[in-house]
Amino acid sequence: SLAPQAEAAGYSLLAFDSIGSTNSEALDRARQGTPGPLWVVSPHQRSGRGRRGRAWEGPAGNLAASLLLDVTCDPSVAATLGFVAGLAVEQALRISLPALEHGSRLRLKWPNDVLLDGAKLVGILLESEMMMGGRRIVVVGIGINVVAYPENAPYRATSLAASGAHLSAPSLFETLSATWLACHAQWRNGDGLPEIRRQWLTRAAGVGEAVAINTGSEIIRGTFETIDDAGQLIVRQADGSLKTITAGDVHFGAA
């Protein structure tokens, strides 16, 4: 269920035992005229979607949660909601599992992943659409590996269970519905990303370190300097120049 403060703030919830994709369901509901804010959650997706056209699948027991929001801000500002979600998920995990706080085992990875002990625990997929009548919506899709993780992923992955952290997906979701509210309020009151960006950077993996970013068309190497107020990654290249990256997969280390 939703945290009481989320319910009080007018959020509603649709829960499914099993679903194709919570993001697709939220988009369909929006097209049918359902207003946000609406959470769609399920412990099991049959055709979950990841970034860059990848699949996001797993057995029952994980958490798939998508938040449908109506937005009026500029699309480039709406695109920074993924950082709000990353921060909210990381906070929910820290509240639910205080043991993870020690040794900074939880880290945010650009753009919107959450890592546990350096392996991917959480993925976030943002989708937006312009609807009839000028309505603009964003769906913030959050996938958390509670009991299982993909073994054939092109990156190192983990789950809470594999790390010895036992937690039920429904109680994690309830906490998340509350931390989202707090982070989203900061984002709204803070004129978009600046305040969220500051917090995100203190929790980020690899700042100041060597990174290689695969943008799909090229591989950019350098030092991870920071993110800007639009959420873009700033890399200092070997010749000293700064490069701004909008989308890509980050690899830590010089490789």
Chain residues binding ligand BTN by CB under 6 A are 21-23, 45, 48-51, 54, 56, 64-66, 113, 123-125, 141-143
Cβ proximity to ligand BTN, 66 vs 91, nearer residue: 66
Shortest spacing between CB 159 and ligand BTN, in angstroms: 14
Kindly report whether the peptide bond that precedes residue 98 is cis, defined as omega within 30 degrees of 0.
Answer: no
Q: In the structure encoding, which two tokens stand for residue 194, read together?
A: 């600046």
Angle in degrees, 0-180, between the axes of helices 169-189 and 194-202, rounded to the nearest 10: 130
Shortest spacing between CB 134 and ligand BTN, in angstroms: 26
> Minimal CB distance to ligand BTN: which residue?
123
Shortest spacing between CB 241 and ligand BTN, in angstroms: 29
Shortest spacing between CB 230 and ligand BTN, in angstroms: 20
**CA separation, residue 60 to residues 40, 46, 127, 146 (Å):** 16, 10, 24, 10
Cβ proximity to ligand BTN, 47 vs 171, nearer residue: 47
Contacts of 101 (CB under 8 A, 6+ apart): 94
Cβ proximity to ligand BTN, 156 vs 198, nearer residue: 156
Cβ proximity to ligand BTN, 153 vs 195, nearer residue: 153
How far apart (Å, rounded) are the C-alpha atoms in residues 135 and 227?
A: 29
CB 101 within 8 A of CB 94: yes
